[in-house]
Homo-oligomer: A and B are copies of this chain.
């Protein structure tokens, strides 16, 4: 399940750099949870061919992330935005008097990091 999430994230960022066939297989296998056999049947190829195409596609996605690191960077940022939102909601509910200040600091830090990026 962990691997599924990772590949889906990489695919969201870099998927359009894959061939159409690679995209099809990734979407069916990771997105719609079809088996290798089911995809093989649908495309009239061997199970091994589906496996190899998927492995190759995953490798390409991972190579792009290794070079660009955008998934890692923006996943970290996603967690910061969640944290800022959480502070605001706790502040609004009277549970965190510092929540407003903390949230402002987090958002300022996100914008600063982007400028340095």
Q: On chain A, which size bracket covers the interface?
A: 20 to 34
Comparing A9-17, A28-36, A39-47, A49-57, the segment that makes contact with chain B is A9-17
Which secondary structure dominates where chain A touches chain B? helix
Instruction: Point out the residue from B67, B85, B91, B104 that lies within 8 Å of A108, measured CB to CB.
Output: B85
User: Binary interface profile of A, 84-117, with partner B (CB < 8 Å = 1, else 0)?
Assistant: 1100110110000000100110011011001001
What's the number of copies of this chain in the assembled complex?
2
Give the docked Cα–Cα distance between A41 and B3 (Å): 50
Give the docked Cα–Cα distance between A78 and B82 (Å): 15
> A70-B70, A78-B111, A84-B107 given. 8 additional CB < 8 A pairs?
A13-B68, A81-B81, A81-B110, A85-B104, A88-B100, A88-B103, A89-B104, A100-B100
Offer 22 A-B interface pairs, CB within 8 angstroms, sorted by A: A12-B117, A14-B68, A16-B67, A16-B68, A17-B67, A70-B70, A74-B74, A74-B114, A78-B111, A78-B114, A81-B107, A81-B110, A82-B111, A84-B107, A85-B111, A88-B88, A88-B100, A89-B104, A92-B100, A92-B104, A100-B100, A103-B103
